[in-house]
Amino acid sequence: MSDYSEKGNYPEYSLSPAFWEKGQALGFPIKFDLVLKHLRQDMRDDWYFDCLQYDDLFKNPDEAKRIILSLLQEWNGVYCGTRSVVRNIPKKGYGERYGLETDFFDRFIYQSICSFLIPFYDSLLGHRVLSYRHDAASQNSKYLFKNKIDRWFTFEGVTLTFARSNRHLLVTDLSNFFENISRAQIIAALEKAIPEIVATGPEKLHIRNAIGTLDRLLEQWTFSRDHGLPQNRDASSFLSNVLLRSVDHEMARKGYDYYRYVDDIRVLADTEPQVRRALQDLIRELRKIGLNINATKTEILPPDASQETLATYFPSQDSATTAINQMWQSRSRRIVTRSVAYIFNILTNCIETGDTQTRQFRFAVNRVAQIVESGLFDVGDALSTTLLDTLSRSLSEHAVSTDQYCRLIATLDRDGRCLPALECFLTSGGARNPRLAELQHMDATRVSEIPIRWVG
């Protein structure tokens, strides 16, 4: 007799941690409450987010379990998922990228697969891969990965040594990276690595079950059913690491001083011919998995590169960002509080210079959210009021950055100070510039999804 029958009261047992952690729901273990923590953390940076931020489901896990079980019942024991919805996300210079939006339960299953597989696969990655690395010793269980900001600083800091060591540096990234990722290549990379994974036989069975579920669901979630992972998802970034593992391995095997952060790749070499050879080898390895470099973002920097060039390719190494990072590393509340003025200055300068799509701006936005969440900053402070006024004035000029604008406003504006500007943005016709009006219309959806706690 199965556990399913032995427990007698199925509805009660099906809501228990044991039911999910034994893999009885989907064929692989799911630590339900832990996955919810990981998912909530991932959703903090969503381009489109729920007005209630799914609090009704995050605070009632049993209800989420019941809905997933009802879907399994409806789909005859196979979680089929639903087709993703394509949303157009504006890019700098009036370009667009797609966003693939799925419902909460598909997001949960995607995160469940990721949270289960990461501990097995991360150890297979080389130390030169700095992005989305599993934090097995995290002091807070909601953090699945090592601190992303710290890892990016390491990526820039290590590769910046080329100038001091009289070497050349190849800087490149991948062309339309997530759009070009093949579902078949992802599944093949996951399956190929199974013999290398340190796990028991039953654990490998669960791993294969998770991969099979992922394969079936990616047909629903990818852009063309064959290519194009959902962007801005932790699970997608993890899968991209697995896919690029073959490239990372070959570049290291050939002796290159190679580093990667998601799709940003840098190679240090003693001479320019060595760098060019590295670029050729990189292109050939990428071609094997259907990817290529972005030629317009590929440069070879000489050891005597100008300060202006270094500032372009190493934006996080400026004095203000470095000072903020060092203050936060001190872990002293007093010193971290002193960083507030620097953070707000970065935000204001980026807005004034039109650089709201930079990592530096996103870095400062993240820091604002963290200091407010930790209670180290009073949102009624004059710095906050001044920044909110700046955001209100410049919203229409930075339509491409409304996701970051919305995050700042949602964090700082407790009194509805920006509501008149938001209303104007949402209702403006933009008749003199139809293209701008179209972009504003796309971003208006994001603006309108700011949490409704303002109202009243």
pLDDT of residue 4: 40
Instruction: Give the model's confidence band at 103: pLDDT under 50 very low, under 70 low, under 90 confident, else very high.
Output: very high
- Percent of the chain exceeding pLDDT 90 equals 63
Provide mean pLDDT across the span 278-302.
96
Average pLDDT over residues 337-353: 92
Contact yes or no for 233/108 (Cβ under 8 A):
no
Residue 332 is predicted with a pLDDT of: 87
CB atoms closer than 10 angstroms to residue 42: 20
Q: Hey, what amino acid is at 297?
A: K
CB atoms within 10 A of CB 34: 17
The reported pLDDT for the residue numbered 3 is 44
Q: What phi and psi, each to the nearest 5 degrees, are found at residue 54?
A: 55, 30
How many other C-beta atoms lie within 10 A of the C-beta of residue 203?
15
Placement of tokens 């009632």 in the chain? 60
With 50 as the cut, is the pLDDT of residue 444 above it?
A: no
Task: Give the mean model confidence (pLDDT) for residues 263-272.
Answer: 96
For 369-407, write each residue's pLDDT tens digit: 889 988 888 888 889 999 999 999 998 888 788 888 888
Query: Using an 8 Å Cβ cutoff, are 395 and 405 in contact?
Result: yes
Mean pLDDT, the chain, rounded, equals 88
What pLDDT, on the 0 to 100 scale, is given for residue 312?
87
Band (pLDDT 50/70/90 cuts) for residue 288 is very high
- Rounded distance between C-alpha atoms, residue 231 and residue 97, angstroms: 9
pLDDT (mean) for 113-126:
97
pLDDT value at 76 more than 80: yes
pLDDT at 435 over 50: no
Instruction: Give the span between the Cα atoms of 368 and 351, in whole angstroms.
Output: 15
Residue 356: pLDDT over 50: yes
**pTM for the complete prediction?**
0.84
Mean pLDDT for 331-349 is 90
Residues 177-225 have pLDDT tens digits of: 999 999 999 999 999 999 999 999 999 999 999 999 999 999 999 999 9
pLDDT at residue 94 in the model: 67
For 163-172, 257-266, 415-424, which range has the lowest pLDDT when averaged over its residues? 415-424
Least confident range from 26-35, 264-273, 334-343, 394-403: namely 394-403
In angstroms, rounded to a whole number, what is the distance separating the alpha carbons of residues 278 and 2? 56
Report the percent of the chain where pLDDT is more than 70: 91
* pLDDT for 273 beyond 90: yes
Helix (H) or strand (E) holding 368: helix 359-373
- Cα separation, 268 vs 245, in Å, equals 19
pLDDT band at 36 (very low <50, low <70, confident <90, very high): very high
Q: Tell me what pLDDT residue 284 has.
A: 97
pLDDT given at position 442: 45
Report the amino acid identity of residue 58.
F
Which has the higher per-residue pLDDT, 119 or 428? 119
Q: Residue 44 above 60 pLDDT? A: yes
Nearest C-alpha neighbor of 42 from the set 110, 99, 136, 94? 110
Residue that wins the pLDDT comparison between 456 and 296: 296
What confidence tier does 316 reach under pLDDT thresholds 50, 70, 90? confident
User: Would you say residue 354 has pLDDT above 80?
Assistant: yes
Q: Does 280 score more than 80 pLDDT? A: yes
Q: Residue 19 to residues 104, 203, 450: CA-CA distances in angstroms?
A: 21, 16, 36
